[in-house]
């Protein structure tokens, strides 16, 4: 598969911006806290314009392939910038797709300018992979709803300025009883705390204590919030694979460079098949993963119907390949790769989470299996 010249230019430009401009801003940030100068820089270099394209009469659909190229390019040189862009996109996309014009124009221009931080609030303490079991309650109250309950592992929480929140409006209705809301972070009764993970990035818990949300802030239709969530995840799931490919490529690049120069037993490491053949295997798998990601993204952009199984294949194969790539690169380097601050130590911590969020690997296999047997 070959990419059009303008698509290759987007990838190359993103890599250059990530390495030269964004990486220093990311390094200056505080781990676990929203890096607002980084959001501003992502906007200034036009990367938010790519995922929030605007036409003369409003907001245009986001290209899944462009999103994948940007996420791969950022991940190869600055994972913090990649995560900041992805989280901003996840939080904003339900608003872009399903908000009233008034709510959309209140928030989207500022999100796209990097002036405010957005977040996608779906996961709960007891509702991870089984999102249809969420229990955050939204009870009708006058001209809107009152939200009560908790969310957990929400990127950009508790400091985001606007949340796309998914809450239960009809009890015992499973996925059919969930409604999506745009909830400002400054809403009375909304509090939270940060969570520290093995690879620190802005993430936390949220508590809703009778938080009032006007009816105008419903995203889409009442009880149809799961459709809003799935529209968002269908777009972003292939690009999680692109994030993984970028990290895997960075690990492979580091391993190849090291193997070409490091000497042991009178030879360079590249001369040992035990090393070079493993790197050849990783290169092959990364190429295959990239093709799977692009195939899923192109199918999404073409509007070819149900593409969930393609996205699941891309995310599953790419994230598991990236984990293997980082592991092999560390083995090639030896103990020095585990020193705090080493690129591979950083990637070793970063690469683990994508196999869990936006659907764990086991969920992706289930999606693929269901597609196989759907017509049998």
Instruction: Please say if the pLDDT value at position 135 is more than 60.
Output: yes
Are 231 and 170 within one domain? no
Q: Which of 62, 89, 117 is the last residue of a domain?
A: 117
Pairing type for strands 263-264 and 267-268 reads: antiparallel
- Block residue for tokens 């295959």: 288
Q: What is the pLDDT of residue 8?
A: 86
CB 133, CB 173: distance < 8 Å: no
**For range 365-374, the mean pLDDT:** 94
Q: What is the pLDDT of residue 131?
A: 80
- What digits encode the pLDDT tens for the residues 256-285? 999 999 988 989 989 889 999 999 999 999
pTM of the model: 0.94
- What digits encode the pLDDT tens for the residues 81-107? 999 999 999 999 999 999 999 999 999
Are 257 and 360 within one domain? yes
Are 232 and 218 within one domain? no
**For range 1-11, the mean pLDDT:** 77
Q: Please give the residue range of the domain that contains residue 45.
A: 5-117
Are 85 and 204 within one domain? no
Confidence of residue 130 (pLDDT cuts 50, 70, 90): confident
Give every CB contact of residue 207 below 8 A, 6+ residues apart in sequence.
149, 150, 190, 191, 192
Are 55 and 159 within one domain? no
Are 110 and 20 within one domain? yes
Q: What is the pLDDT of residue 1?
A: 47
- What digits encode the pLDDT tens for the residues 195-223? 999 988 999 999 999 999 999 999 999 99
User: In the structure encoding, which two tokens stand for residue 274, read together?
Assistant: 């035990």
Instruction: Please say if the pLDDT value at position 152 is more than 80.
Output: yes
Give every CB contact of residue 26 below 8 A, 6+ residues apart in sequence.
35, 38, 78, 80, 81
Are 367 and 247 within one domain? yes
The tally of domains found in the chain comes to 3
Confidence of residue 317 (pLDDT cuts 50, 70, 90): very high
Tell me the percentage of the chain whose pLDDT exceeds 70: 99
Alpha helices in the chain (DSSP H): 5-17, 23-27, 36-44, 47-51, 64-77, 79-98, 101-112, 225-261, 273-301, 308-333, 343-350, 361-373
Confidence of residue 3 (pLDDT cuts 50, 70, 90): low
Dihedral, 140, 146, 148, 152 alpha carbons, nearest 10: 110
Are 88 and 205 within one domain? no
Q: Which of 117, 143, 176 is the last residue of a domain?
A: 117
**For range 48-76, the mean pLDDT:** 90
Are 176 and 310 within one domain? no
Are 244 and 148 within one domain? no
Are 340 and 266 within one domain? yes
- What digits encode the pLDDT tens for the residues 21-46? 999 999 999 999 999 999 999 999 99
Residue 358: active-site member? yes
> Among residues 15, 124, 350, 358, which one is catalytic?
358
| CATH code assigned at 359 | 1.20.140.10
- Average pLDDT of the chain is 94
| CATH code assigned at 34 | 1.10.540.10
Are 49 and 170 within one domain? no
CB 145, CB 215: distance < 8 Å: yes
User: In the structure encoding, which two tokens stand for residue 356, read together?
Assistant: 């869990």
Instruction: Please say if the pLDDT value at position 297 is more than 50.
Output: yes
Q: Which of 117, 150, 178 is the last residue of a domain?
A: 117
| CATH code assigned at 191 | 2.40.110.10
Instruction: Please say if the pLDDT value at position 2 is more than 70.
Output: no
d(CA 10, CA 148) in angstroms, rounded, equals 43
């Amino acid at each position: 598969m070959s990419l059009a010249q303008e698509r290759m230019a987007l990838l190359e430009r993103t890599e250059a911006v990530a390495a030269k401009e964004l990486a220093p801003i990311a390094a200056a940030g505080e781990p676990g806290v929203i890096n607002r100068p980084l959001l501003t820089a992502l906007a200034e270099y036009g990367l938010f314009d790519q995922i929030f394209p605007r036409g003369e009469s409003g907001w245009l659909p986001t290209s899944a392939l462009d999103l994948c190229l940007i996420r791969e390019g950022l991940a190869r040189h600055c994972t913090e910038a990649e995560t900041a862009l992805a989280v901003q996109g996840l939080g904003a996309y339900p608003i872009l797709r399903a908000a009233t014009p008034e709510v959309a124009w209140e928030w989207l221009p500022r999100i796209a300018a990097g002036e405010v931080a957005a977040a996608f609030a779906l996961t709960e303490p007891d509702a991870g992979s089984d999102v249809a079991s969420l229990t955050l309650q939204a009870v009708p109250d006058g001209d809107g709803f009152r939200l009560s309950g908790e969310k957990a592992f929400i990127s950009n929480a508790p400091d985001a300025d606007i949340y796309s929140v998914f809450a239960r409006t009809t009890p015992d209705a499973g996925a059919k009883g969930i409604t999506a809301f745009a909830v400002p972070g400054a809403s009375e009764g909304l509090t939270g705390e940060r969570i520290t993970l093995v690879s620190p990035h802005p993430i936390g818990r949220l508590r809703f204590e009778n938080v009032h949300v006007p009816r105008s802030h419903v995203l889409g239709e009442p009880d149809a919030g799961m459709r809003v969530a799935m529209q968002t995840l269908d777009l972003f799931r292939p690009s999680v694979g692109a994030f993984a490919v970028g990290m895997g490529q960075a690990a492979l690049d580091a391993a190849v460079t090291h193997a070409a120069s490091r000497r042991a037993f009178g030879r360079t490491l590249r001369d040992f098949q035990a090393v070079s053949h493993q790197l050849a295997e990783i290169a092959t798998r990364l190429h295959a993963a990239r093709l799977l990601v692009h195939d899923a993204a192109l199918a999404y952009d073409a509007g070819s119907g149900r593409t969930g199984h393609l996205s699941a294949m891309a995310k599953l194969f790419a994230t598991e390949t990236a984990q293997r790539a980082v592991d092999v690169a560390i083995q090639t380097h030896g103990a020095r790769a585990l020193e705090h601050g080493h690129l591979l130590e950083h990637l070793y911590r970063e690469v683990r989470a994508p196999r869990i969020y936006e659907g764990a690997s086991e969920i992706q296999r289930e999606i693929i299996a269901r597609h196989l047997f759907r017509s049998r």
